[in-house]
Amino acid sequence: MSDNAITSPNQPLYQREGAYIPRVAAVHDLCGYGKCSLAVAIPVLSAAGCDVCPVPTSLFSSHTAFPGWYMHDTTDMLPDYLAAWAKIGVEIDAVYSGFLGAPEQVDRIRDLYGMYPGALRVVDPVMADHGKVYPTYTPELCAAMAELAEGADILTPNLTEAAIILGEPIGDAWAGEDIDDDEAHRLVDALLGKGTKTVVLKGIQRGDGQIRNFVGTSGGAFFEVANEFLPYMLHGTGDLYCSCLLAAVMAGRTLEESVRFAGDFVHDAMIVSSKQPEFHDRGVSFETLLGRVADLLK
């Protein structure tokens, strides 16, 4: 765990200083088609004035909703990759991890934590959704991801991922619908109890036309942020949400401002996406909205 004290929704989580451009190690897969992972994190964080330093956990021809996708696991190259960083003195201000290709990659993220003990640790535990684990995730990889979540400064699970981290059963009941405030509070508190400093529990739906994110901090703060629910699913919205949240954080915004910005941005990006051909397959489109991310620096 880093020394970043995240206790209040009304304080900046990162102190931006003058003209300095912070560096973010983005530990995600690289997907050739279907907007997600590094294809989201790099442009969004760059628009927020960050130097994005990719650590590719795997290479995909397309996201896994397409048939016949190809995956290349990069696990074996990562020790030498990070050792080369150490030799040239790369400095990192935040370590932002997402989709992983193998359990051993959690050890590489821990290596990064050791190399940069003061860096903000942001974990998007990308491994499941709507009660189902992603096809490349083994039980061993899920367990390793759960261990990684315990050391996060910011953790952004959906309901299914929260259940996996907590060792609770998953299934249709975890599809993202109809949990009340007490249950959301219980899950957030349980995740904080594992050592996470800030939890953003994403995507709670109650059939009332809204989608809710519940936020809790180690300092005892708890609040909810809601957006209009849009009746279609898009690949990559979770990656976009966490990337936008971190973009706002690295621009010096408070936790509450960052969570609200991320929710609003994803909502509007989904509307932009719906106007694209074959939008259900191609992933979330956000390019025309990147000016809003740059405006975070004003």
So what's the pLDDT on residue 50?
98
Q: Which of 47, 48, 64 is nearest to 99 (CA)?
A: 64
So what's the pLDDT on residue 1?
43
pLDDT digits (tens, 9 = 90+) for 5-34: 456 677 788 999 999 999 999 999 999 998
- Three-class HEC string of the chain: CCCCCCCCCCCECCCCCCCCCCEEEEEEEEECCCECCHHHHHHHHHHCCCEEEEEEEEEECCCCCCCCCCEEECHHHHHHHHHHHHHHCCCCCEEEECCCCCCHHHHHHHHHHHHCCCCEEEECCCCEECCEECCCCCHHHHHHHHHHHCCCCEECCEHHHHHHHHCCCCCHHHCCECCCHHHHHHHHHHHHHCCCCEEEEEEEECCCCEEEEEEEECCCCEEEEEEECCCCCCCCHHHHHHHHHHHHHHCCCEHHHHHHHHHHHHHHHHHHHCCCCCHHHHECCCHHHHHHHHHHHC
So what's the pLDDT on residue 177?
62
Q: Which of 127-136, 194-203, 232-241, 285-294 has the lowest mean pLDDT?
A: 127-136
Q: Is the pLDDT of residue 176 over 90?
A: no
Q: Which of 251, 171, 243, 142 is nearest to 200 (CA)?
A: 243
So what's the pLDDT on residue 169?
87
Q: Mean per-residue pLDDT for 218-237?
A: 93
So what's the pLDDT on residue 175?
59
According to the per-residue pLDDT averaged within each range, which of 38-52, 66-80, 277-291 is highest? Answer: 38-52
d(CA 8, CA 12): 9
So what's the pLDDT on residue 131?
86
Q: Is the pLDDT of residue 112 over 60?
A: yes
Q: Mean per-residue pLDDT for 189-200?
A: 96
Q: Which of 215, 164, 217 is nearest to 192 (CA)?
A: 217
So what's the pLDDT on residue 265?
98
Q: Is the pLDDT of residue 234 over 70?
A: yes
Domains of the chain and CATH, by start: 23-297 (3.40.1190.20)
pLDDT digits (tens, 9 = 90+) for 57-111: 999 999 888 889 999 999 999 999 999 999 999 999 999 999 998 999 999 999 9
